[in-house]
Amino acid sequence: MLTRQFLPLFLLMVFSTASQAHDDMPLFNAFRLELDAGQDRDNQSVSSWDLDGWVGGDDNKLWLKSEGAVVGHNTQTSENWAMYSRNIATFWDVQAGVRYDDHPESTSYFVAGFTGLAPYHFETEAHLFTSNDGDVSFRLREENDFLITQQLILQPFLELNIYAQDVKELDVGSGLADANIGLQLRYEITRKFAPYIELSYESLFGDTADMADAKGEHTSDSTITAGIRLMF
Q: In the chain, what are the helix, strand and coil shares in percent, each to the nearest 5? A: 15, 65, 20
DSSP string of 174-230?
SEEEEEEEEEEEEE-SBTTEEEEEEEEEEEE-HHHHHHHHHTT--SEEEEEEEEEEE
Q: What is the DSSP letter of 170?
A: G
Would you state the pLDDT for residue 13? 55
Amino acid identity of 165?
Answer: Q
Q: Please report the pLDDT score of residue 17 as a whole number.
A: 52
pLDDT at residue 4, rounded to an integer: 47
Residues of the chain with confidence (pLDDT) below 50: 1-5, 21
Q: Would you state the pLDDT for residue 183? A: 98
The HSE-up count of residue 193 (CA atoms within 13 Å, CB side) is 2
> Which amino acid, residue 108?
S
Domain ranges within the chain, ordered by starting residue: 2-23+33-231
The CATH architecture that domain 2-23+33-231 belongs to is Beta Barrel (2.40)
Note the pLDDT of residue 47: 97
**Tens digit of each residue's pLDDT (9 = 90 or more) over 2-55:** 444 455 555 555 555 555 545 556 789 999 999 999 999 888 999 999 999 999
